[in-house]
Amino acid sequence: MEPYLAEFIGTMVLIILGDGVVAGVLLRESKAENAGWIVITFGWGLAVAVAVYAVGRVSGAHINPAVTLGFASIGLLEWSLVPGYIIAQMLGAFVGACIVYAHYLPHWGLTEDPGLKLATFSTGPAVRNTPANLVSEVIGTFVLVFGVLGIVGNIDAIAGTGEEISLAPVFGTGLVPLLVGLLVLSIGLSLGGPTGYAINPARDLGPRIAHAVLPIPGKGDSDWGYSWIPVVGPIVGGILGAVVWKALGF
């Protein structure tokens, strides 16, 4: 159960700090109100780094179903662990979003725009174009998984005999979590503009469910028509990123 608990805690920390910075920037009367995109992207990058430092040595700190599926697709995680990892990530994201809601409790009623309230929980497109939005999420997550594997090094060197192994000893130590956080910062700055760079199904769907069930005043709908894009796009991009990395033999 330790890896599942670690994924739950790691994803919860990710959302507390990630959705927390978005709430601080978007909600009315927050001291961080209107701080802007740079603050949001830096906040998310640091959120990833902290989460990976916190639980990386236990579970590998996937904190993202797209990473889990990508790693499993090239033998870096046993498929039997995948359902438990993803369930833990989804639950952690939901709980993290509920904690952000409680933390900013007085600010929801002061914020009139329901779109800003939803944006603190989940992503949405700057220009609503289904094919383009889907491709954006695929590309962003491809870069994430490909980049993470580049940071931790050569797969054959890590795996040794080529058997399925855990990357947990690699993550959570040294500069690796910080570098992964900087990778997420780079993705946000360079590729995040079109869709808000979910690049993580749990990061988007778990908080979106929280938005739907929490008693947020004047919240509006949860935009379920868009919700499949930040789920399907990252899964496709994550698997492609891992498969291409392994195929190139780096």
Query: Taking the domains of the chain in order of start, what are their residue ranges?
Result: 2-248
The pairs formed by 208-216 with CB atoms below 8 angstroms and a separation of 24 or more are: 208/121, 208/122, 209/94, 210/94, 210/97, 210/98, 210/101, 210/121, 211/97, 211/117, 211/118, 211/121, 211/122, 214/98, 214/101, 216/101, 216/108, 216/117
**Per-residue model confidence (pLDDT) at position 83:** 97
**Per-residue model confidence (pLDDT) at position 170:** 58
**Per-residue model confidence (pLDDT) at position 193:** 98
Alpha-carbon distances of 215 from 91, 210, 219, rounded to whole Å: 19, 9, 8
Looking at domain 2-248, its CATH architecture is Up-down Bundle (1.20)
**Per-residue model confidence (pLDDT) at position 1:** 79
Spans of the chain, pLDDT less than 70: 154-173
Q: Considering the entire predicted model, what is its pTM?
A: 0.93
**Per-residue model confidence (pLDDT) at position 159:** 44
Cβ–Cβ < 8 Å for 79, 164: no
**Per-residue model confidence (pLDDT) at position 165:** 42
Query: What residue has token string 């997550």?
Result: 141
Rounded CA separation 138/147 (Å): 14
**Per-residue model confidence (pLDDT) at position 173:** 67
Please say whether the dihedral angle defined by the alpha carbons of residues 189, 191, 193 and 195, taken in this order, is positive or negative.
negative
In tens, the pLDDT along 171-196 reads: 666 788 999 999 999 999 999 999 99
Rounded CA separation 248/250 (Å): 6
* Helix (H/G/I), strand (E/B), else coil: 145: helix
- Determine which helix (DSSP H) or strand (DSSP E) holds 186, and give its type and residue range: helix 176-191
**Per-residue model confidence (pLDDT) at position 160:** 42
